[in-house]
Structure 1
Amino acid sequence: MAELAPVALEDLLERFQKGDVRALARALTLVEAGHPLGQALLKALRGRGRAKVVGVTGSPGAGKSTLTDRLILEARKRGERVGVLAVDPSSPFTGGAILGDRIRMMRHHQDPGVYIRSLASRGALGGLAGATVAALSLLEAFGFERIFVETVGVGQSEVDIARVADTTLLVLTPAAGDAVQAFKAGVMEIADLFAVNKFDLPGGERIIQELKSALELAPPRPGGWRPPIYPTVAATGEGVEALFEGLEAHHQHLLAHGLLEGHRLERARFEVESVIQEWGRRRTQDAKELVAQVAQGLLSPEEAALRLLKAEERPL
């Protein structure tokens, strides 16, 4: 990526602060690429704005993108400016990602009050990349009042989203095994609200009853919050208005019990951990000899990691 002169950086910052969408897109690209100027922009802009951040997760095919599309409509009815980060997993082999979630949100592409950005997880061990949190900070600084972060809902991403979002929405369907898989994966403990989407299919009531039974055994949530369950049919919009009101009720609960600041601190902790993880991934790719010594039993993983840390402190 070409270097930006300081004057160009100041110009980008000025245009960003004036609400230039192209400046936002450029800033997001710099941050996602890990460019030093992207980090400089983040330092200058971080902490501005206070968006309501909603994480949307669930198994592939649950209808998350269509449901998010409907939730965007509800937010726009209330006059909110909406940002969307759609995170797709990167291939561990090619590094590529499909980034196709925008297809189901095309109705908003001409709405200046909606901005949708697709991101790749970039090998973040099946979860969210630190760049996702950085992008979230930029959208907040740009003035979006509600931000949806949609994950593909596999691997670590379901747990990660709870550390990044203020409110976590888990989307299930009446498809066989969905509720059981949710119990086994532990995501019951991180969801603040549940949507049983495609409720017009057989088995919807059974899923709701299973969820209610499981929630009765779940540990109490901060402030005494009890996760509600909403039946929805995203394709037609049925139940979406009630679900949106539930999202708003959870945000008001966080405000009333002083829980938002803790969420912001956890988000920053996650971002720092992600930077360390990415640093380690890059360093081990370059340290083939050191990795070979671990495989041969000549070094323990801890000893190898310490050597990498010491090598970082002084040139090799």
Structure 2
Amino acid sequence: MSIAVLGAGAFGTALAISLAQNGPVVLWARRPDHAADMVQQGENAARLPGVALPKNVSVSADIAQACGAQTLLLAVPMQQTRAFLTQHATLLQGKTLVSCSKGIDLETLRGPTALIEEIVPSARPAVLTGPSFAADIARGLPTALTLACRDQAQVLQEQLSTPTLRLYRTPDLIGAELGGALKNVIAIGAGVVMGAGLGDSARAALITRGFAEMNRLALMLGAEPETLSGLSGFGDLVLTCTSDLSRNYRRGFALGAAQEIDPSITVEGAATACAVARLAKARCIDMPIAAMIAALTEHHITVAQATQALLSRPLKEE
């Protein structure tokens, strides 16, 4: 097997299904019972119901078997990535590790490629990110993503592209991973605006000013400006701020509407908002929207207080 997807959530499963158009793929599930259920039912009923697993997707709970592949797609949640890399560092040595998570590690304030380079220095890091929903990819709907990689990028691009999954390559790892991480924070804010009934005009303003904040931080951390204007930044921002299929948007909508939140659903933007607020403060970067979203997700302020704080800021040039 040349490709394995490590993580059998909705997105990891969707990637395995799409990549199976090119050849055999191993899909690794952390829990043996989850793997057994997928084998028995022929689908990932728990995470991606209604989409059959192709015959050339081999489901396994054996991490050593999965790591027999040379190209490994890391589809584990961002806040679990550091522990996963540490636990399996020996098996991951010398592999191409393609991070598919979107976020910033809350403890170290670092992205996935920095963690890979520190914990598994012999591995080749890459990032796969952009505007996509798992259901769309799994059902073969046309999807375009960004693949960030410094070495042999064209080879990896060809390996991971499928008839329905089109990849654009870039060497800008930092920009690609920050675009995917930061847009989740703004998507929560867009959901808050709509959940609180503040209107489409307010959402448009928040997306626009939020995009300015994304660029401000990303450029300070070494990203290329054109990367944030591409699929991994602006493209993903548009998708997640305008669709209720986005978990981050739905979390924000629930906050804005004062609805109960399901704690079992992974929402990467909540932890990322807190990490971004800490990063911005440490580097003296003005990110008022991100700060308000972090405070909202931690229930330190109300929506009314956050709205008033943003609207009462001093007037300035755009």
- Which category of TM-score, normalised to the shorter sequence, fits these structures? 0.3 to 0.5
- Normalised by the length of structure 2, the TM-score is 0.32
Task: Select the structure of larger CA radius of gyration.
Answer: 1
With a CA cutoff of 8 Å and minimum separation of 6, indicate the structure with the bigger relative contact order: 1
